[in-house]
């Protein structure tokens, strides 16, 4: 009986020991941080992956695996030079950076199509990959509006190098994960109005847009700023982006008697307006002006001699720093050409903003993996302040505008864009 009792006790002790062995210790949590915080130091005594305490979730990057980011830029079609230029800026930034916290960075490149439909499609492709932590894009504001909603709903931070439409950072409509390194067209529109009124002496102007958030937004800012200066907007018209005949709308504009026409549209429509205006009675001597949507070699080729002497507003590219010199050399060496458009440096800076934020918030686990909180990453991008970028000193405001905004007006001289006037907001 005593033997049987002892055997029972030993059996119970063995079962208890087995149960204890089957229950692992709780996973460690970051120390010194709170939900959504960028202060995320892991417990150095553990080999377990860090528990996610982020408000909207985390991305786990296994040891030896890359960090995944995406780009969504227009890389095909008539506006491809705008997006390819930025895509090259992203790729050069990744080349310069190498690794982040011992991990390489993998880029999933999508095409925003420079359209609402393209932005929606690109956004859906990006959110279908749960490993993506951030996006550089879009090129076009019209694509940025729907895409920002899609990726923000998924908790993915988004930084655009070339969206300039005011609506994207308007507090009433901005998505909380959205930021940009490009200027706000509230500044560009005011710059062009100031140049027209104060430098060219224009008192009567017309504006044409295509209904896109970028084109209509910029034309509207120009209209309001020009009127406030004392000028008169004699015509404010819309034309389809894919129009093949602009003679009717230009004839209507001519009847209003403008001294200048400002048409901040993209290359296909911009080229057509430029060539046709010279053929319309009453417009032969009218000043023509466009914006950064046409600032590429493709436009100069398409518009031909008709573009000579016209004005174009856009970002000031007189950066004059050592990093930009190295960037330009790398661009030419890697792609065999000078920059194709005007937002390559903004894309470089946007990529570094994202990589800096990842480096700041990622928790390094003892097994070599990373834990990246999505809300922490959004917060870290938004907290960017005093960053030394190619484009200037980058500091994000509460609405996601992060640019050091400087605008220049260029004139087409001998078939090239030549900067002739600078404008900045102090």
- The pLDDT tens digits for 137-189 are 999 999 999 999 999 999 999 999 999 999 999 999 999 999 999 999 999 99
* Domain count of the fold of the chain: 2
User: Is the distance from CB of 234 to CB of 206 less than 8 angstroms?
Assistant: yes
Q: Mean pLDDT score of the chain, rounded to an integer?
A: 91
For range 264-291, the mean pLDDT = 98
Q: Which residue has the higher pLDDT, 14 or 309?
A: 309
Shared-domain flag, residues 106 and 88: yes
Shared-domain flag, residues 253 and 293: yes
CATH number reported for the structural domain that contains residue 413 in this entry: 3.40.50.2300
Pairing of strands 406-413, 416-424: antiparallel
- Asked whether residue 352 is domain-assigned, the answer is yes
- Helices 344-361 and 374-382 pack at an angle, to 10 degrees, of 130
For range 301-328, the mean pLDDT = 97
* 49-66 pLDDT per residue, tens: 568 999 999 999 999 999
- Asked whether residue 365 is domain-assigned, the answer is yes
- Asked whether residue 23 is domain-assigned, the answer is no
Shared-domain flag, residues 419 and 295: yes
Shared-domain flag, residues 420 and 288: yes
Shared-domain flag, residues 389 and 246: no
Give the range of the structural domain holding residue 290, as residue numbers without chain letter. Answer: 186-317+409-424
- Asked whether residue 2 is domain-assigned, the answer is no
Shared-domain flag, residues 359 and 234: no
Shared-domain flag, residues 123 and 271: no
From the list 130, 106, 150, 126, the residue with the least C-alpha distance to 58 is: 130
CA-to-CA distance for 149 and 15, rounded, in angstroms?
A: 54
Question: Considering the entire predicted model, what is its pTM?
Answer: 0.87
Tell me what pLDDT residue 108 has: 99
Task: Classify the C-alpha dihedral 132-34-181-188 as positive or negative.
Answer: positive
Tell me what pLDDT residue 38 has: 34
Residue with tokens 């390094």: 364
For range 363-387, the mean pLDDT = 98
Shared-domain flag, residues 163 and 126: yes
Q: pLDDT-based confidence at 42, cuts 50/70/90? A: very low
Burial of residue 276 (CB within 10 Å: 0-12, 13-18, 19+) is: middle
For range 414-425, the mean pLDDT = 95
Residues forming a β-bridge with 260: 205, 287
Shared-domain flag, residues 173 and 212: no
Shared-domain flag, residues 155 and 203: no
* 205-235 pLDDT per residue, tens: 999 999 999 999 999 999 999 999 999 999 9
CA-to-CA distance for 148 and 77, rounded, in angstroms?
A: 22
Shared-domain flag, residues 192 and 308: yes
CA-to-CA distance for 426 and 424, rounded, in angstroms?
A: 6
**Does 261 score more than 50 pLDDT?**
yes
- Asked whether residue 197 is domain-assigned, the answer is yes
Shared-domain flag, residues 193 and 172: no
Tell me what pLDDT residue 30 has: 33
Pairing of strands 103-111, 99-100: antiparallel
In degrees, rounded to 5, the angle at the alpha carbon of residue 329 between the alpha carbons of residues 324 and 331 is 90
User: HEC profile for the chain?
Assistant: CHHHHHHHHHHHHHHHHHHHHHCCCCCCCCECCCCCCCCCECCCCCCCCCCCCCCCCEEEECCCCCEEEEEEECCCCCCHHHHHHHHHHHHHHHHHHCEECCEEEEEEEEECCCCHHHHHHHHHHHHCCCCEEEEEECCCHHHHHHHHHHHHHCCCEEEECCCCCHHHHCCCCCCCCEEECCCCHHHHHHHHHHHHHHHCCCCEEEEEECCCHHHHHHHHHHHHHHHHHCCEEEEEEECCCCCCCCHHHHHHHHHCCCCEEECCCCHHHHHHHHHHHCCCCCCCCCEEEECHHHCCHHHHHHHHHHHCCCEEEEECCCCCCHHHHHHHHHHHHHHCCCCCCCCHHHHHHHHHHHHHHHHHHCEECCCCCEEEEHHHHHHHHHCCCCEEECCEEECCCCCCECCCCEEEEEEEECCEEEEEEEEECC
- Asked whether residue 22 is domain-assigned, the answer is no
- Asked whether residue 214 is domain-assigned, the answer is yes
- Asked whether residue 126 is domain-assigned, the answer is yes
For range 87-115, the mean pLDDT = 99
* 315-358 pLDDT per residue, tens: 999 998 999 999 999 999 999 999 999 999 999 999 999 999 99
């Amino acid at each position: 009986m005593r033997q049987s009792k002892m055997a029972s006790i030993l059996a119970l002790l063995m079962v208890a020991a087995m149960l204890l062995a089957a229950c692992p210790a709780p996973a460690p949590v970051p120390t010194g941080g709170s939900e959504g915080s960028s202060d995320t130091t892991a417990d150095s005594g553990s080999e377990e992956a860090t528990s996610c305490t982020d408000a909207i979730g985390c991305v786990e990057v296994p040891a030896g695996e890359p960090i995944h980011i995406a780009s969504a830029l227009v890389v095909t079609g008539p506006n491809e030079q705008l997006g390819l230029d930025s895509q090259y800026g992203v790729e050069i930034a990744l080349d310069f950076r190498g690794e982040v916290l011992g991990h390489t960075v993998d880029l999933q490149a999508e095409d925003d199509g420079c359209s609402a439909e393209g932005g929606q499609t690109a956004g859906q492709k990006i959110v279908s990959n749960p490993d993506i932590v951030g996006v550089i894009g879009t090129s076009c504001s019209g694509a940025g509006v729907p895409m920002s909603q899609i990726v923000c709903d998924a908790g993915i931070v988004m930084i655009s190098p070339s969206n300039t439409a005011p609506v994207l950072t308007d507090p009433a409509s901005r998505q909380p994960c959205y930021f940009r390194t490009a200027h706000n067209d509230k500044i560009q529109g005011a710059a062009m109005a100031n140049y027209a009124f104060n430098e060219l002496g224009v008192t009567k102007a017309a504006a044409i847009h295509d209904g896109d958030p970028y084109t209509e937004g910029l034309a509207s800012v120009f209209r309001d700023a020009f009127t406030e200066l004392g000028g008169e907007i004699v015509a404010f018209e819309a034309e389809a982006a894919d129009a093949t005949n602009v003679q009717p709308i230009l004839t209507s504009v001519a009847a209003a008697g403008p001294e200048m026409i400002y048409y901040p549209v993209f290359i296909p429509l911009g080229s057509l307006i430029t060539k046709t205006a010279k053929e319309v009675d009453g417009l032969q001597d009218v000043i023509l002006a466009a914006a950064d949507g046409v600032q590429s070699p493709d436009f100069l080729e398409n518009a031909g001699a008709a573009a000579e002497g016209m004005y174009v507003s856009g970002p000031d590219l007189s950066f004059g720093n050592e990093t930009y010199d190295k960037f330009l050399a790398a661009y030419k060496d890697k792609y065999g050409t000078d920059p194709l458009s005007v937002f390559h440096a903004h894309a470089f800076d946007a990529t570094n903003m994202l990589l800096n934020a990842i480096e700041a918030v990622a928790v390094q686990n003892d097994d070599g993996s990373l834990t990246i909180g999505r809300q922490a990453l959004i917060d870290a991008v938004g907290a960017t302040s005093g960053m030394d970028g190619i484009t200037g000193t980058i500091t994000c405001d509460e609405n996601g505008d992060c640019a050091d905004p400087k605008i220049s007006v260029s004139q087409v001289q001998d078939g090239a864009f030549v900067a002739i006037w600078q404008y900045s907001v102090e």
